Structures are given as C-alpha cells and as structure tokens.
Chains A and B, each alone.
Chain A
Amino acid sequence: MQIAGQKIEEHLIHERPFYLPQKNEIIIAEAAYKNGIPLLLKGPTGSGKSRFMQFLAWKLKRPLITVSCHDDLSTSDLVGRYLIRGGETLWMDGPMTLAVRHGAICYLDEVVEARKDTTVVIHPLADDRRELAIEKRGELLTAPPEFMLAVSYNPGYQSILKDMKQSTRQRFIALELGYPPADLETEIVSHESGIEKQLARLLVRIAEMTRGLKDSGLQEGASTRLLVHAGLLIKDGIEPREACRVTITQALTDDRKLLYAIDEMISSVL
C-alpha cells in the first residue's frame, strides 16, 4: 500500500508577500512558533489575516497549507482518506496530515464555521502532545517542531451557535488584527491597488467613517480589502464615486438608509 504523493513544495512561498505589520504580531508569532504553541488570529474580515499567514510562512520558510472551513468539512477532509487508483488502494493525506508530516504551517480559516466534532481532531495537536491520530491507518503522528497550527475567526459575528468552545480557544496564543492605523492602511491600499497615496488616504477616510457606524446598525465597517477593490477599479478608469459605490456601499449593507448615508460619505470625500 502506498501513500499518494503530494507535492508539499507547491505550498512553499518563494516571493516575499507584501505585508505591513500593524504592531508586534510578527515577533509574537515567531515566538509562538519557536515554542510550539498554536496561533489564533482574531479580526474582522479583510483585515489581513490570510496575508499575515502568508508572510509568516515565507519568513519561517515553511510551506503554508490553508483550509477554508465550512460546516460540511469532515474529519477525513482534514486528516485524509483512502482512494482507489488503477485497482490499487492508496492513502491520501488530508491537508492537516500533510502539514504535520512535512512540518508545514496549517491554517484553518474561519474555524468557527466548521462543525464542533470536526474541530476536536485539532485538540491533541494544539496542546503540548502535538499529536495527530490517523484512525484509519492506526497511525499516530507527532508533529515535528517545524509544524505550526494557526486558526482564524471573526469575533464580530455574535452567533451563539458558532462561538468557539473554551477548550478549543484556550489552546492558542491569540493575536488581534484589527483595522490598521490610517497611515499604514493608506500605504497598503496604495501599494495593493497601485493608486496614489493621496487617493488611498481618501479611501481610508471613507472606511474610517463607515467604521463609526456600528451604533447605527452597520455590522462591520469597510475592510482594507474593500478599499483595495475600490482602488483597483479606480485605477482601471472607473469613476471614483461609482467605484466606491459598487465596492464599498453595496458590499456593506442592504439597509436603505445606511446605503444612502454611506453614499453621502463617499461623495463628501471623493
């Protein structure tokens, strides 16, 4: 019986990803890595969590394996399963196993979306045992020091059905990646979309205003990602206000009054 070959090298990141640190997250993450403690990234959508992981993987020179969690994700999806190929059965490592075997970084995006019975497989992996049990093969893997587990979640959604279990969350070092400070965000937007700093600053200003709307019923303000989108459209020659309307306003809400108010913010700034 053989193990299906998977190229871990594909997950290596060769080029330095563009990432501007918000504060000390890189130092902390490196320390977590050194001490074999898993990482929990908290933060609103589009605040650079995935990008940070890419950067970290590049910096640590480890492959990065990302799994987007959803409620249909099964344990086999994570750990692996048997396949049949040409009459032969063949074991196929799941992303988690792959990462453990090769000492890669395994990043579970939006971990609260996964069912709780799926997430329990990470428990022994996330504490000092650092073990992964592959029941079907009767195999118990111990993760090498290079392996790192990271998960992300967005605390903004208050669904009690999707809150993380204490026994899960207390295994992690938690880093909060909020919205970057204005000058940093300006730089990010300008770099990512290729627009002038001055224009990027205005986009950031719009985002800041929308982030002030929590009390008025907006669930979340505009993220850095939305600003990058707006910038890209503007760069492509779309009229700035229109670009923001389709990338920012409409993406944020369906509430008529808030739509109106956000459009007014845009037309005030741009």
Chain B
Amino acid sequence: MKNGLIERLQKVIPVEWLNDWERDEIFSHLTYHEPLVEKAVIEQLGIIWPISSALCFYFLDHLKNGLACLSTEQLPDWVKGILDVYEADGLQAARRYMDDVEGNFLCRIRGEKGLTLAEIIPKLLPYIRGLSRKTLDLQPSASLHTDTNTLFLPREITSPANLSHNFYIYKLLASFLWAGIEQDIYCQQQTDPETLENFILSFEDQKLAMACYHLLQTVRVADFLKAYLPGLIRDGQTFFRRLRKEADLTDISPETGDGFAAVRSWLLAHCANDPLPELSGETESIIRKVVASDTHHKEVFAATTNFYERVRCHQEDFTLPCPLFFQGELRPQEARMARLSRREEHKQQFIKALAAVIPSRSAATQTEAEPAEKNQAHEVSESGASVSPMHQDGKKEKPEEDRQDDPRYICLDDEHLELPEELRHVAREIEDDLGAVPSFYIASASQMAGGRGRASGINLQPEEGLPLHGGLLYDEWDFRRCGFRKNWCSLIEKRIVPAKGTFVSHTMEKYRGQILQLKRQFEMMRTQQRFVKRQKDGDDIDLDALTEAYADVRAGLVPSERLFVRLQRDERDIAALFLVDMSSSTEGWVGTALKESLVLLSEALHSLGDRYAIYGFSGMRRSRSEIFHVKDFTEPYSEEIKGRIAAISPMDYTRMGPPIRHFTMVLKDVDARVRLLIILTDGKPEDYDDYKGEYAIEDTRHALIEAKAAGIHPFCISIDKEAQDYLGHIFGEINYTFINDVKKLPLRVPEIYRTLTS
C-alpha cells in the first residue's frame, strides 16, 4: 500500500467511517496514479463525498475512463458537471453522464453545444399539443419516459450533427412517446388499469417480459407512426440506419439471429425503409400479429408471451440489450398513478361543473324530499343517469382514428340536460377512461346542487343584518334570496408606494424585441386618418354623393346636403380599466407574470394613446375590501407609475364583487365611446369568510351583469387551467379567456386587448 495515502485521504474523508471493503476499493483506484493526479483526485473526492458517498464510488469506477481523455486540470470542471447532473436528476443520471465523457463534457467545452429542452420547449410544446390535442406537458429528465400526462425528455441532446438535427431528435422522441400513449401501450383505454402490471407479474423473468412487451409495442407504435406521420419517419432514415449499424443489427438471418435482435433489426429497417431482414417464420408471425391495424391489447399480450418463450428457450445465455434510444423506458406504474390522479381530477371537475348547471328544479325537489337524502344517490342512478353522445342528425359515428364529438347531453331523471362546452369535454375524457360516466358522479353532482342552498345558508346567519359603516359601501348579491344585502361590503382605496428596484427595467430588457413589435402593432391601430363620405362639409367633394344628389334632383327629390368628404381622425375613444388580482395566491410566478403584463401593456398603450387605468384589488372579509391605486385615467405613464407596478405584491383574498361594483361606478362617469373593464385574475373569487363557492361566483356574476347594464364591457383574463367551468358562467360565453401557461401571459394580454378593441 502506498505510503501516506491513508493520511492524505484522511484529510478529505474520515477513513474510520469506511469499512474494510470500501477502503480497499478506494485504494485500489488510487494507487496507480502519479502523485499529482492522485492529489487532484483526492481533492475531488473531498468535494463529492459530503454530497453522496455512493456517487463517490461510482466516480472512482469511472475515473480511469475519465482520465483517459481528460487532463488533470479538467477534472474539477468534469466533477462540477457530474454534481450538477446528480443534483438535478440523481445517481443514475450522473452515472450516465460519466459514461460519455466525450459527448457530455468535452464536446461542450469545445463549444459544440447541444440543444437543451428548455430552449426548444416554446416550439416543441405547441407541436405536441397540436399533435395530441391534449394538454400533455414536457419536462426534462434523465430518462426518456412518460406517465401519460407528461413527456419526460432528455435535458439536452448533444449529437455531433447540427442543431436542427438535434431538434429533429427531440421531435422524434416526443412523437414516439405520444404515439405510445395514443396507441395505448399502457393499456389505459382498458377498464382495468392494472392489466399491464399484472400481465408482466405473471412471468418468471419479469425484466425480460417487460423488454419483450416494450419491443413489440414499439414495433406497433413505429408502424403506426409510419402511416400517421410519414414525414417524421422518412426524415429519420439516416438516424435509424445509423442506430441499426451501431447496434450491430444489420446482418441478421433466421439462422444466426436470435429472436430479440431479429425484431430490433426488423423495427429499425422498417423505420429506415430499408429491405427487411429475413426472419424465421415464427418471429415473422409475431410481428405480423402486432402490426395488424386492429390489434387488441390481448393479442399483443399473447404475442409477448410467445416471443418471451422463444427468446428464453432459444438462448440460455441471453443478455438483455439496452432499449433502443428512442424507446426510452416503459413505466406502467407511473402511468397508472397518473391515470388515477387524472381520473380523480376529472371526477371533481365533472361533479363541480355539473352541480353548477343542474337546474334549481332539482334543488327544489330535493328540499322537499329531505328525509330521503341518503337514498338520493340510489334514485338517480336507478333512473339510469347516463351521458350519451347524441347527434342531431342521428348519424352513426365512424369508429375511426378521428376524434368523435364530445357528449352533448346528460340524462337526469329522464330529462335531457344539455351540457355546457367544457363539461362535454370532461365527460368525453371520463368516457375514454371508464367507458361511461359513472352514475354516482351524476348523483353526487345533483346532491351537491340540491344541498347547496341550505348548507351554506346556515353558516351565514351570524353576520346577517349588520350593515357596515366606513369606507365606500357596496351591496352584495345573495343568490339564495335573489336580492342584495344592502351596504354589505366596505371598500377602501389605498395607495401603493413605488418600489425602487429594477423590475420594470428588467422586464423591458427581457421583452425588448417583443415590446418593439407590440409598439409597432399598437401604433398601427392609432388614430387613423380616413376619409368619411357624405358629410355636410369637408375637404373635398364627394363625387358619389354629388352624382346621387344630382340624380335625386332630376328625379324631383330633395337632394341630400351631405356632399363632402372629410378627412377624419378617428379618435379611438376607448377607456380601459385593468383590475389586477392581488390575492395571496398570485404569489410567485403568477404575480410576476401579471406585473410583466402590466409593463408590456403600459408600453403598448402608451404608444397607442388609449386612456387606461390600473388598479389592484384584494381584501379580507366584507369589512375590508381593498383597491390599490396604480394609475388612474389622467396620470401619464411615468417612472412613478412604473415604480408602483413594481410594488404590486400579493395581499389577501379575492372578493371580486366590491371592486367590480366600484369601478363600474368609476367607469360610468368616464366619457368614452367604449368602456372596458379588464380583470386579470388567477382563479376564482374567494374570501376568508363565507364568500366562497357558488355564493362568490354568483355575486361576481351579478356584479358583472350590473357593469354590463351600465354600458361597460367586462372581460376576464384568467391564468388557471381549472377555471373553465365557472368562469363561463360568470362572464357569459365570450367575455373571457384562459391562459394556462403563465409565461405566455405578458404577451397575450396586450394581444387580447388589441383584438378586443380593433
């Protein structure tokens, strides 16, 4: 053993903590190095050890490999890279990172940068959303897989080829993952979610069974993609060829090739559109079975069993190769969990949304039948509650790949209730998952609808009848009694002390290009000059009108006096008030995005010249509704205002009624042709007290109706995936929009304003 090694090591790792075996292992890795190298390595061990001792041993394992192409000076940087990966994605990812020193590290420091997922998400996400027409998400991860909600893709792709090729690889991987979901390789379109897992469990060698299943399914998916996205597969010809060559799968014959390699070879040749390898009759028939267009999962199971047996009995010393690059990993368990959580989510959504639309008629019936409450669920389900797709023309639907219409009607107590748009969509998802909407969903909804009046009524008693004083008083709508609670809420206006920071200048920098573009767009909408015809006086004669008048005279009519054209500057004459949700839920991301939108909007409106005001709102309980003054209609956009925007921060709750009523009064007095009240919010109205659920929604809705009646156009922009069910109700069909990606908000808000007012 080398002299003094223990001492030197002792300085960075407490050697007494190691057992003999571990100590030997470390020594065995260190002994052969030159003193300088050894010193450098020990230094690095000192850095890795406190983070993970397991990683330390892996590092030592890979050391020889690393030092073969790294200089001692590069060692610290490499370790830094390893630790980054370890912290982001864990041990296995770090191992993979160490495996490929060239691709993962050296290429990079030579400046051959790869393409990161973060860079391309803005392009890849719309691609995959368009493809799937579902809200699939993308996330970086060390291993390629999906839980059927999110596609997990590599954080970065560094292939020697150029960047556009790397984008292609991302697209290919994402498309394969999506196609796997689409082709139901996780058996989710079956009613029993555990099918796949149970099936695999029935094998002795489950790893092999899983690999066989995955490979056969990949064959199926690839075959589907080749027909569905022919361009995608065609563009990958070189890629698939190279993969085939690298995996040594080019020369396969029925005699030499084992079943597994043969199928892999066939798969890659099929994708590359190369001559298919000659297969043994049995393998051939297995493939033929899985690629048949109408394959049921049971048949894929049977083929898997068949294939598994073949691989097992023909090759005793068979070692399972890594899955092909684009296959990734199959994780049925994660998919099952995702499906369950999705199911629960849909159930909640469905029940809530349905309860909101079930007519009050059923609420009334239930109040009468109070003692029978327990039986309620029964009654409804026995009456055959069902969601059924009904088509106006009664035409049979085609069992095609094409999307079918969402169910439109629900049958409740033998009556058809038309489902609102969003609900139809959820109902379709539930049907896809469970085959039909379970009747107890509908029962719970009708129970919820029936119970709502009474249950919440009780909570309200104590506060009833205590009108408030102080501040500005506003009524609140109580939907249960169809009347106002007089002077129920007190609202105070507060000032915002401008913040000093760099928020606004940062935002301006971050969106520099977009702001320029916005300004250009908005300038184009500015006061346009145009000729208006048929004026009483003007800059020029209106020939059309004159001819007409002359003709009128000749016809014995009194001619019109409107014979001039005038160059008119069209004043836009729009006043917009932006009301920003400052409730505590906007903390973080959402708040930042809201503020950024205000900055962009102000810049854009500044160049447009429309009058606008900005206020925030929040509050707690009816006694303290607060509005925060950021900018009124008369103030110009200035440093002061910028400071106030920067100072907007999350406060308490979201009682929407009082601020809407307040600004309805404010806007009513503004002299403009079009008066807009634009509300930016992150979710539903809710306060600390009983201002929740339906009561809050109904009050907000009523406040908006009041605004409309006062000639104001309310419009809501909501950052909320779930909001859809109630917002439609609050605003009436067309006056709202959702943004489910916070990052898009800052640019979307000015854009929405533009479409609204042009």
CA distance A167 to B738 in the complex (A): 29
Contact yes or no, A159 B126, CB < 8 A: no
Cα distance A74–B542 when bound, in Å?
14
Contact with B along A47-71 (1 / 0, CB 8 A): 0000000000000000000000000
Q: Could you say which of B124, B132, B548 contacts A81, with CB atoms under 8 Å apart? A: B548
Q: Answer yes or no: A241 CB below 8 A from chain B CBs.
A: yes
For B132, the chain A residues whose CB sits under 8 A away are 212
Q: Does A173 contact B (CB under 8 A)?
A: no
B755 at the interface (CB under 8 A from A): yes
Q: Considering only CB atoms, which chain A residue lies closest to B171 in the complex?
A: A264
* Stretch of A36-44, A230-238, A253-261 at the chain-chain interface: A253-261
Which chain B residue has the least Cβ–Cβ distance from A160? Answer: B713
A161 touching B534 in the complex, CB below 8 Å, given contacts A261-B127, A264-B171: no
CA distance A182 to B125 in the complex (A): 24
Q: How far is the CA of A72 from the CA of B393 in the complex (A)?
A: 40
Q: Does B296 lie at the interface of the complex (its beta carbon under 8 Å from any beta carbon of A)?
A: no
Complex CA distance for A91 and B555, rounded to whole angstroms: 9
B554 at the interface (CB under 8 A from A): yes
Contacts A161-B757, A212-B132 given; indicate if A267 touches B395 (C-beta within 8 A): no
Specify which of B125, B534, B751, B756 is in contact with A159 (CB 8 Å cutoff): B756
Tell me if A205 and B228 are in contact (CB < 8 A).
Answer: yes
Q: Is the CB–CB distance between A23 and B555 below 8 Å?
A: no
Would A159 and B755 count as touching, CB distance under 8 A? yes
* Cα distance A261–B756 in the bound complex, in angstroms: 26
List B contacts of A23 (CB < 8 A): 391-393, 395
Contact A24:B130 (CB < 8 A) given known A82-B554, A216-B125, A268-B175 = no
Question: Given A84-B550, A216-B126, A268-B171, do A158 and B755 touch, yes or no (CB 8 Å)?
Answer: yes
Asked if A208 is an interface residue, CB under 8 A from chain B, the answer is: yes
Q: Is the CB of A261 within 8 A of B126?
A: yes
Residues in chain B near residue A160, CB distance under 8 A: 674, 676, 713, 715, 756-757
Cβ–Cβ contact A261 & B232, under 8 A: no
Contact of B533 (CB < 8 Å), options: A72, A163, A181, A219 = A72
Provide the residues of chain B in CB contact with A34, threshold 8 Å. Answer: none
Q: Measured between alpha carbons, how far is A76 from B547 in the docked complex, in Å?
A: 13
Q: Which residues of A contact B533 (CB under 8 A)?
A: 72, 74
Which residue of A is nearest B530, CB measured?
Answer: A72
Complex Cα spacing A157 to B755, Å: 7
CB of B73 to closest CB in A, whole Å: 40
* Shortest Cβ distance from residue A103 to the other chain B in the assembled complex, whole angstroms: 26
Q: Does B748 contact A (CB under 8 A)?
A: yes
Least Cβ–Cβ distance between A101 and chain B, in angstroms: 18
The answer to whether B129 touches A212 (Cβ under 8 A) is: yes
B557–A136 contact, CB under 8 A?
A: yes
Contact A217:B552 (CB < 8 A) given known A264-B171, A265-B130:
no
Q: Is the CB of A212 within 8 A of B548?
A: no
Tell whether A266 is near chain B: CB-to-CB under 8 Å: yes
Contact call A136/B230, Cβ cutoff below 8 A: no
Q: Is the interface of B mostly helix, strand, loop or mixed?
A: helix
Which residues of A166-218 are within 8 A (CB) of B?
181-183, 202, 205, 208-213, 215-218
Assembly CA distance A208 to B401 (angstroms): 12
**A215 and B129 form a contact (CB under 8 A):** yes
Contact of B734 with A by CB under 8 A: yes
Q: B282 an interface residue at 8 Å Cβ cutoff?
A: no
B633-654 vs A, CB cutoff 8 Å, 1 = contact: the mask equals 0000000000000000000000
Q: Mark A140-160, 1 if CB is under 8 A from B, else 0.
A: 000000000000000101111
Which chain A residues lie closer than 8 Å to B230 at the CB level?
202, 269-270
| Cα distance A72–B231 in the bound complex, in angstroms | 47
Name A155's closest neighbour in chain B (CB-CB): B734
B376 within 8 A of partner (CB): no
Given contacts A202-B230, A213-B126, A270-B231, contact A76 B548 (CB under 8 A): yes
Known contacts A74-B534, A217-B748: A24-B551 contact under CB 8 Å = no
Chain B 168-191 interface residues, beta-carbon cutoff 8 Å to A: 171, 175
Q: Which of A81, A157, A269 is within 8 Å of B551, CB to CB? A: A81
A74 to B740 Cα, complex, angstroms: 43
Quote the shortest CB–CB distance from B250 to chain A (angstroms). Answer: 27
With a cutoff of 8 Å between Cβ atoms, the chain B residues found around residue A261 in the complex are 123-127, 130
Give chain B interface residues in 716-749, CB to chain A under 8 Å: 734, 737-738, 740-741, 744, 748
Indicate whether A89 reaches chain B with its CB closer than 8 angstroms.
Answer: yes
Quick one: closest B residue to A257, CB to CB?
Answer: B122
Q: Is the pair B557, A210 in contact by a Cβ cutoff of 8 Å? A: no
Q: Cα distance A268–B175 when bound, in Å?
A: 9
B720 to chain A, nearest CB (A): 12
- How many residues of A are in contact with the other chain, CB < 8 A? 51
Within 8 A of A (CB), among B113-161: 122-127, 129-133, 135
Q: Using C-beta atoms within 8 Å of the partner chain, give the interface range for chain B.
A: 35 or more
Whether B674 pairs with A212 at a CB distance below 8 angstroms is no
- Does A20 touch B at the CB level, under 8 Å? no
- Chain A residues closer than 8 Å to B402, beta-carbon distance: 181-183
CB distance from B175 to the nearest CB of A (A): 7
Name the distance in Å between B322's Cβ and chain A's nearest Cβ. Answer: 26
Given the complex, which residues of B lie within 8 Å of A155, measured CB to CB? 734
Please determine whether A265 and B398 come into contact, CB atoms closer than 8 angstroms. Answer: no
Nearest-neighbour CB distance to chain B for A23, whole angstroms, equals 5
CB of B22, distance to nearest CB on chain A (Å): 50
> In the complex the two chains form, is A210's CB within 8 Å of B130's CB?
yes
Q: Are B555 and A82 in contact (CB under 8 A)?
A: yes
For residue B534, which residue of chain A has the nearest CB?
A: A74
- Decide: B133 and A212 in contact? CB cutoff 8 A: yes
B758 close to chain A: CB less than 8 A: yes
- Which of chain B's residues has its CB closest to A88's CB? B554
Contact of A241 with B548 at beta-carbon distance under 8 Å, contacts A23-B392, A160-B756, A213-B126 already known:
no
Q: Which chain A residue has the least Cβ–Cβ distance from B554?
A: A89
The answer to whether A82 and B231 touch across the interface, beta carbons within 8 angstroms, is: no
The docked-state distance in angstroms from the alpha carbon of A183 to that of B715 is 38
> Which residues of A, 78-133, contact B by the 8 Å Cβ criterion?
81-84, 88-91
**Residues in B whose Cβ lies below 8 Å from that of A74:** 533-534
Residues of A within 8 A of B561 (CB): none
CB-based nearest A residue for B172:
A268
Q: Which residues of A contact B390 (CB under 8 A)?
A: none
Known contacts A158-B756, A183-B400: A217-B550 contact under CB 8 Å: no
User: What's the nearest-Cβ distance from chain B to residue A164, in Å?
Assistant: 11
List the A side residues contacting B125 at CB < 8 Å.
Answer: 216, 261
| Contacts A160-B674, A212-B133 given; does A82 touch B548 at CB 8 Å | yes
Q: Is B670 among interface residues, defined by CB-CB distance under 8 A?
A: no
Shortest Cβ distance from residue B398 to the other chain A in the assembled complex, whole angstroms: 7
Question: In the complex the two chains form, is B400's CB within 8 Å of A217's CB?
Answer: no
Within 8 A of A (CB), among B386-427: 391-393, 395, 398, 400, 402-403
| Given A159-B755, A159-B757, A261-B127: A90 and B551 interface contact (C-beta under 8 Å) | yes
B231 near A260: Cβ-Cβ < 8 Å: no
Using Cβ atoms and an 8 Å threshold, which residues of chain A touch B547? 83-84
Taken together as a complex, chains A and B put the C-alpha atoms of A89 and B547 apart, in Å, by 10
Whether B345 sits at the interface, judged by CB under 8 Å, is no
Query: Across the interface, do A217 and B713 meet the contact criterion of CB distance under 8 Å?
Result: no
Instruction: Pick the contact of B123: A72, A82, A260 (CB < 8 A).
Output: A260
Residues in A whose Cβ lies below 8 Å from that of B235: 267
Q: 23 pairs across A/B with beta carbons < 8 Å?
A: A1-B555, A23-B391, A72-B533, A76-B548, A81-B548, A84-B550, A160-B756, A182-B400, A202-B230, A212-B129, A212-B131, A212-B132, A215-B740, A241-B231, A257-B122, A261-B123, A261-B127, A262-B130, A264-B171, A265-B131, A267-B235, A268-B231, A269-B232
Kindly list the 10 A-B residue pairs having the minimum CB-CB distance in the complex, ordered from nearest: A82-B551, A89-B554, A209-B130, A261-B126, A212-B133, A268-B232, A182-B402, A216-B126, A212-B130, A268-B229
For the complex with contacts A262-B130, A265-B127, A268-B131, 7 further pairs of A-B residues with Cβ separation under 8 Å are A159-B755, A205-B228, A213-B126, A213-B130, A216-B126, A264-B127, A267-B231
Enumerate chain A interface residues (CB-CB to B < 8 A): 1, 23-24, 72, 74, 76, 81-84, 88-91, 136, 155, 157-161, 163, 181-183, 202, 205, 208-213, 215-219, 241, 257-258, 260-262, 264-270
